[in-house]
């Protein structure tokens, strides 16, 4: 499954990840719906579709970055899926992960993986609300010396994340927004 089938992923998102009820988000805000995207990023069909969609987005924006990655644990399956599909296509894309804090032993690094300062990278994420988690990944990647050229997510809740990235000179791209599912931003 090398091609991005947006309708198939949209259906999986609807059936596997979108829940309605009363929820408290990581930001502390209340919401009437929740996007449990780990049910997608750890699903065999969805993971391949996500990777294909994200590779298509990156390819449409010029040369591929040197690497993709984001905050552990949420971005790890996305990163793994992207580099696996990229490997099947013989693309030299690598992955990295950003720890919540630097490791207290070994190399003591916060950014792990086969990346070097100066490389161009894209931060990946599942759901964007305020952008806080992805911005922490941006900060760590930049502190390591990576050139962050953008942020790419599965879905944007349209709750301020796009502006938060724009304020930092970064473009947010997503495969979907909540409006694609008939949901108005809260």
* 100 is known to lie in a ligand binding site: yes
* 50 is known to lie in a ligand binding site: no
* 177 is known to lie in a ligand binding site: no
Distance in angstroms (rounded) separating the CA atoms of residues 82 and 50? 8
Structure tokens, 185: 């931003």
* 45 is known to lie in a ligand binding site: no
CA nearest 51: which of 14, 1, 7?
Answer: 1
Distance in angstroms (rounded) separating the CA atoms of residues 105 and 90? 34
* 27 is known to lie in a ligand binding site: no
* 126 is known to lie in a ligand binding site: yes
* 131 is known to lie in a ligand binding site: yes
Contact (Cβ atoms closer than 8 angstroms) between residue 153 and residue 133: no
Strands 120-128 and 67-71 come out as: parallel
* 32 is known to lie in a ligand binding site: no
* 157 is known to lie in a ligand binding site: yes
* 105 is known to lie in a ligand binding site: yes
Residues marked as binding for 5-phospho-alpha-D-ribose 1-diphosphate?
Answer: 99-100, 103, 105, 125-133
Residues marked as binding?
Answer: 99-100, 103, 105, 125-133, 157
Residues marked as binding for orotate?
Answer: 129, 157
């Amino acid at each position: 499954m090398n091609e991005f089938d947006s309708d198939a992923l949209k259906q999986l998102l609807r059936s596997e990840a979108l829940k309605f009820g009363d929820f408290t988000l990581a930001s502390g805000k209340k919401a009437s719906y929740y996007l449990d995207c780990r049910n997608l990023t750890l699903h065999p069909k969805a993971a391949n579709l996500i990777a294909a969609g994200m590779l298509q987005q990156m390819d449409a924006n010029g040369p591929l970055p040197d690497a993709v990655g984001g905050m552990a644990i949420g971005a790890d399956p996305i990163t793994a899926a992207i580099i696996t599909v990229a490997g099947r296509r013989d693309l030299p894309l690598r992955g990295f992960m950003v720890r919540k804090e630097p490791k207290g032993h070994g190399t003591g690094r916060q950014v792990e993986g086969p990346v070097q300062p100066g490389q161009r990278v894209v931060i990946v994420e599942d759901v964007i609300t305020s952008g806080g988690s992805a911005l922490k990944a941006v900060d760590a990647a930049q502190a390591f010396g990576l050139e962050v050229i953008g942020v790419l997510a599965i879905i944007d809740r349209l709750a301020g994340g796009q502006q938060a990235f724009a304020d930092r000179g970064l473009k947010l791209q997503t495969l979907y927004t909540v409006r694609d599912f008939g949901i108005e931003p809260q």
